[in-house]
Each structure stands twice: as C-alpha cells, then as structure tokens.
Structure 1
Amino acid sequence: MKAAFCDRPGAALDIREVPVPSPSAGQYLVRVEACGICHSDLHLQLGEEPLPDDVFPLCLGHEGVGRIVAGGGPLPIGTRVALPWLYSADPASDPTLRGKENYCPHQKARGIDAPGAFAEYALLETEFAVEIPDAIATDAAGPLLCAGLTAWSALGRCDIQPGQRLLIVGAGGLGQYAISIGLARGLAVAVVDPDPRKRREALRQGAGIAIGPDDPAAIRAWGGADVVVNFAPTATVWELITGVVNPLSQIVLVALVQEPVPLSAMWLINGGHRVMGSSVGTRADLRDYLHFAAEHPPSVAIDVLPFAQVNQGLERLAAGDVTGRLVLRFEVSVEPSSGGLSEE
C-alpha cells in the first residue's frame, strides 16, 4: 500500500510503498477512503511538538474514513468507520472507567503512538470502532472526527440553554463547526477573529456578529457572552474574554496555549464563572456527534485533494490558505489477500 511518512521534524512527507498491516485479535483492517488534514498534522510535521526522535518516521492523519475489509469483531465487513485521533486507552485507568478515556494518561494517539490514516489501509481497535451514519458524505465525515468532535465536546462541557449567547474566539475549522453546533442548539452566536475572510465566512454560516479582537465593546453591546469557547492559540485573547462575559459564564479553553494568563480570584468568585479545559472527545462523544451532524449538517466548506497532494495541502494550511477544511481522497487500486496484494 501507499502511505505518507514524515521522516524527521520539518521534512516534507514522503509517500512510499509499505506492507499492508495485518489485523491481530481485537482489530479491524480498514481501507481508507478519505482523511482530513488537521492543524495537529501540520504541527507534528513541522516539529512544533516536543516528540522524541525515536517516534519518527511518523505516518500522520487522524481524520480518516474507511470501510472494514478484514478482522474479527461485531461490525460486518464493509461497515464505514471512523479513524480518529484517539486510538486506544488503558481500560483500567480511572478516566476510562469514568467514560472519559480522552483524559487517560496512557492513551495512544493515531498518527503518533500508532500509524495514522495518511495511508491506503489502517488498523482500528474493535473497542474504539465508531460507525459513520449513511447520511454523512465520506469527504465531509473526515473533519467531523477531530475538528467537529472537539467543538462538540467543548460545548458538551457546558450547561447550555436555548437563547444563551455563545462567543467563539477563532473562526477557523473548529470555530466553524462550533457555529453550526451552537446555532442548531438554539444559541445566539458571535465570532471574534482577526482574519476578515474568516469573519465573512462566519457570517455566511449564520453568526450574528463577527468582529476583530480589538472591538470587545461590540460584544458587550451585543449582549455579552454566556458561553465562550476559545480556539485561538494565543494568551492575548484572555483579556477580551474576561471583559465581555456575563455573570455565571462558562469558558472552555481548547486552543493549546502554553503561556499563563492572569486569573483574578475575585473576578471568578464575584461572577460565579466557570473556566474549563477540553480535549478532543470520547468514543461516546464521537458517536453522539456523528448522529447530530447527520441531522444538522454543518456548512463548513470542504476542499478535496488527491492523496498525492498531501504536501501541497500542508503547505496551504501553513500559509493560511484554507477557508474551511482540507480532505485527502484515496484511490486504492489493490486489495489485501492471504498472499499479499492482488490487482483488482
């Protein structure tokens, strides 16, 4: 099969021929049909994550969609399944036992601890297999598995009531999925983003207002924010967030920000605010969100590229030349067989 590998931090991906993996007990072999390109893939490829040298070469990709072609489990051959970020977790860990395996300290991530879905075939643990509803198109399904799921689970951390005001900070792919989820759940939606193109896209998708980060007065005039989800990877937005929230606000931090922010205990106490972190989502979150998305399709633009253009896709992402989400499409010309590979 063909698979794309990052041989060292900063290197372009190399597409090469490697053996099709063989599923062990408790695994499916999945023929990949499409895979989204996520900013996390770009961060890993550029070496912006502190990974040890021995994890390379990396086969990236964690927004994969494909069909089961081999392996034993409850799902039949041909079932369309998800190949998301969360590959496996320790079944005995406290977070996993609580149904929060995305916080398991021993979890494995697809594209880091296990081979990713930038490949024509991939393995899937049967206990982590989630079926994709027929109503969702394959190309649209990929980004739901990370970008959409992350937005879904972040809002799932909050006690949301219809009519509340949701502020989304950062209107890239994740923010756009949050717009669709918020609107479908009856929230009024405002967006903050420095990019005029993304603000226009947010308005097209139904946001009530979309402003730059230097105009907090517009958010206060709009009515303030009851719920805030931050997708902007910078600590500079914290002052804006704390300056526009209403009493009893719920603030969910998703973007990976290393710098500390000033948190006033008196502000927290007097306002009764809740500040939470949120990371990707669980298997149950993914199942629930896929069914929700089937009923409420997001209007995020999907730009499809052939697998051979994976490096061009990463370059576009690095240049900010993506309005919605990028998805790779695979054209597999071989099928696995007991004797290796045979032509179709």
Structure 2
Amino acid sequence: MSQDLPLTMKAAICPAPGAPLEMREVALPTPGAGEVLVRLETCGVCHSDLHLRDGDEDLPESYYPLILGHEGIGRVVAHGANAGRAPAIGTRIGLPWIYDTCLACKPCRTGNETFCPENTARGVQKHGAFAEYAICPADFAIEIPEAIDPLTGAPLLCAGLTAWSALRKARIEAGTNVLTLGAGGLGQYAIFIAKARGARVMVIDRDEPKLETARSLGAEVTVVAGADAGARIKAAGGADVVLNFAPSPAIWDTVEAAVNPMADIVAIAMVHDPMPLSMMWLIDGGHRVFGSSVGSRQELADFLAFAAVHPLNVDVEAIRFDDVNAALDRLKAGSVAGRLCIDFAL
C-alpha cells in the first residue's frame, strides 16, 4: 500500500452483543486479492446497526468485536493484488449492506443476489464502515455519481435501496394505492419513489409529526396508527401494495383491514415474532405476501442513477464520528425524524 497511508485508524468497535460501541485505534486493514481500501467520507446510521449493537440478531459471539456500519461512502485509496477491474484510485464508491456473495448460485445468476445462501453482510460477518477506512471487494464496488452528495447519499445505500427494491418487486402502475406502515427514514424514501412511479401514497404511523412530514413529501392519505387505522385506509380507497417498515407483528390486523383484493404485502422490517396469517384470507383475496431485503448491485446502480436526477429530500442530520453510539441511543428512543449520518470531516 501507499506509504502516505497511516498504519492505524480510528474505529467504533462493538466489543460484545449488547455492549455500547467503543472508539479504538486499530490497525489499518490491508486489501487482499481483488479488494480495494476506501477512506470513508460519510456513513449512515441504521436501525439494523442498533439491533446488532444490542444483540437482537442473536449473532455468534465469535463475530465480536465487530465494526458496524453499512451505509458508507468514500474514495478508493489503495488496491490489493489482482484488482484489474477495480475502480481507479480516487473513485468515490459505496459500501452497502451486502459485502459479497458466491456469484454462482441461482439467486446470484438471476439478479437476486441478496438471497444468496452464502452472502455476507458488512457490519455482520465482515467489518463495516464505522471506521476511517474499510475494505470493499472490487466486484461489489458501486460508483457513486458525483451529483450525489456523500452526506445525503449515504443512507441511500441501505434505507433508500431497501425501499427501491421492495417497490420494484411489487405490482405498481400509475394510480396504484401504496400504503407504507411507518413514516421514518425508510418510509420517507418509499414515499418519494412511489410518487415518482405514479402511485397514490397512503401512510400509517403512530407519530403525528412523522405523518406531517409524510404529507409534506406527497402522501395523500395519512392515518394515526390504532385499532381503526386499517378501516380508515380501506374507506379512503384501500391499499393495493403494502410496505411494512414497522418492526412489530401487531400490524397484521391493520394490513388485513386495509388491503384491496389481490394486494401485494411486502415484509421489510425485521420482525422475528410470528403473525396470524390465514391461508383462507390469502386464497379468498388472491394476495401475495413476500419478503424483500436491501437490494442487488444492479438495483443500487439503477437507484443511484435515479437519485442523481431526482433528489430525495429526506432530512439527514450530520453527526460527529465520536457521537455514533449516542446516535444509536437516539434511534432506540425513537427521537430521530429522518436519518443520521456520520460526517468524518466533523
């Protein structure tokens, strides 16, 4: 590697499941064959990072100590060996959730690599981007268009991409009623994308200020979460597509009451508990219920090209790197309206 690079870097380390992040000085990673080294400019702070820090995902303890973070943007500063197809030094690339996949299974070959049985995730099996530098496999390096600001662009790599991929999988045409359950960061990206596709957007959230934000972003129907929320959505025209961003099984009664016949219900939020799904309800209504997880490399490239010419004006708050653990605490308290993003220049 270049002699201009430091020998060490600062990283936010999660020492064990359920432990707060610790700022440590660690060795600078060395890119191996087919890898690049990236100097981070920004990294979004995601609810998935909170779940991982707090031990909610039941990861093996052998994964820790772990560097979290999977919404990173930075510039390539070094190549490993055999990196002939790697982006050039100085290229700005993204470091999203998917770290790598086998590239050979059916999901990988058909553009559905997020469902590869051997995929690894940044900030889970591999160290993430809550650090001054990080490694990226050259085959999974996606260039960030220069029109995208790295601060507002970082959350696009997970939150925005997740909404984009979920909507791509659903049956949507102009005039389709799209209901988002939850109007936080992911829900706000979904509003922008669904509106751009000609949909009529409906939103349910328990927080009135978030519903006000949803209205400002173009949502035509907004309803406070509660026992009658589904019926109110049905009275307003019903939902043809439902995107669930609410991490709770309690939403299912609302979904059943809200949907029109032949609705698509897309599971996105990380809900581990079972839901009371009736097979007869599926049969009688002709509904489709399926999951969607982040997005593929091609979806990310397509989404970034879209975002470069259609700015997604979701509120993004810049934070200092040293404040990343406090930022996760704010997410846990539910006190974040949009997205939080580390600015390594602060």
Coarse TM-score class (shorter-chain normalised): over 0.9
Q: Tell whether the 8 Å contact from 1:62 to 1:84 is kept in structure 2 after alignment.
A: yes
Separation in structure 2 between the aligned mates of residue 77 and residue 260 of structure 1, nearest angstrom: 47
Indicate yes or no: 2:339 matched with 1:328.
Answer: no
Question: Residue 133 of structure 1 aligns to a residue in which SS?
Answer: coil
Q: 1:8, 1:262 → 2: CA distance? A: 34
Secondary structure of the residue that 2:158 maps to in structure 1?
A: helix
Report the equivalent of 1:39.
47
Q: Does 1:118 align with 2:130?
A: yes
Q: Identity over the aligned pairs, expressed in percent? A: 53
Which residue of structure 1 aligns with residue 199 of structure 2?
187
| 8 Å contact from structure 1 (residues 195, 212) kept in 2 | yes
The aligned counterpart of 1:86 is 98
- Counterpart CA distance in 2 for 1:262 and 1:313 is 34
Q: Is the 8 A contact 1:28 1:73 kept in 2?
A: no
**AA at the equivalent of 2:260:** N
Distance (Å, rounded) in 2 between the aligned partners of 1:258 and 1:27: 34
**Shift in Å, 1:284:** 0.8
Are the aligned partners of 1:27 and 1:73 in contact in 2 as well (CA < 8 Å)? no
**How far apart, CA to CA, are the structure 2 residues paired with 1:73 and 1:141?**
27
What's the secondary structure of 1:70's corresponding residue? strand
State the partner residue of 2:5: none
* 1:240, distance to aligned residue in structure 2 (A): 1.1
Shift of 1:196: 1.4
Determine which of 66, 70, 77 is the counterpart of 1:62.
70
SS in 1 for 2:36: strand
Q: List gaps (5 residues or longer) in structure 1.
A: 333-344
Could you tell me how far 1:213 is from its partner in structure 2? Answer: 2.1
Are 2:206 and 1:198 aligned? no
Structure 1, 76-85 or 86-95: larger mean CA deviation = 86-95
- Provide the C-alpha distance between the structure 2 equivalents of 1:109 and 1:186, rounded to a whole number of angstroms: 33
Q: Measure the CA separation in 2 of the matches of 1:268 and 1:53.
A: 39
1:279 Cα deviation from its structure 2 partner? 0.8
* 5+ long unaligned stretches in structure 2: 1-8
Which residue is 2:150 aligned to?
138
The answer for the alignment partner of 1:4 in structure 2 is 12
Amino acid at match of 1:43: H
- Checking the alignment, whether the CA contact within 8 Å between 2:16 and 2:65 is kept in structure 1 is yes
Show the counterpart of 1:218.
Answer: 232
User: TM-score under structure 2 normalisation?
Assistant: 0.93
Matched, 1:261 2:275: yes
Matches of 2:219 and 2:48, distance apart in 1? 26
Q: How does 1:304-315 map to 2 (within 5 A)?
A: 304-315=318-329
Amino acid at match of 2:198: G
Given the alignment, which residue of 278, 281, 304 partners 2:295?
A: 281
Q: Tell me whether 1:239 sits opposite 2:253 in the alignment.
A: yes
Describe the superposition over 1:124-161 as per-residue Cα deviations: whole angstroms up to 9, x where unpaired: 10100101111111101110000001111111111210
Q: Structure 2 counterpart of 1:306, which letter?
A: R
Letter of the structure 1 residue corresponding to residue 201 of structure 2: V
Equivalent residue letter for 1:289: F
1: distance between equivalents of 2:31 and 2:17? Answer: 29
Q: For the Cα contact (< 8 Å) 1:148–1:178, is it kept in 2?
A: yes
Whole-angstrom CA distance in 1 between matches of 2:258 and 2:345? 48
Separation in structure 2 between the aligned mates of residue 148 and residue 109 of structure 1, nearest angstrom: 17
CA displacement at 1:217 relative to structure 2: 2.8
1:90 shift after superposition:
1.0
- Counterpart of 2:94 in 1: which secondary structure? strand
Alpha carbon RMSD of aligned pairs, Å? 1.3
CA distance in 2, matches of 1:53, 1:259: 22
Q: Does 1:208 align with 2:238?
A: no
Quick one: which amino acid aligns to residue 240 of structure 1?
T
Deviations 1:65-94 (A, max 9, x none): 000111134321111100001000112222
Return the match for 1:162 from 141, 151, 174: 174
* Cα displacement (A) at 1:216: 2.4
Q: How far apart are 1:53 and its partner, in Å?
A: 1.2
C-alpha displacement at 1:271, in angstroms? 2.0
- Find the counterpart in structure 2 of residue 338 from structure 1: none
- Amino acid paired to 1:170: G
| 305-314 or 266-275, larger mean C-alpha shift | 266-275
How does the TM-score come out when normalised to structure 1?
0.94
The residue identity in structure 2 corresponding to 1:136 is I
Distance 1:57 1:268 in 2: 44
Farther off after superposition, 72-81 or 144-153: 72-81
Aligned length: 332
CA contact (8 A) 2:230 2:253 kept: no
Residue 259 of structure 1: how far off its partner (Å): 2.2
Q: CA deviation at 1:100?
A: 1.2
| Contact 2:100 2:120 (8 Å CA) reproduced | yes
Structure 1 segments (4+ residues) deviating >4 Å:
none
Instruction: State the 1:10 CA deviation.
Output: 2.1
Answer yes or no: is the 8 Å Cα contact 1:238–1:261 preserved in 2.
yes
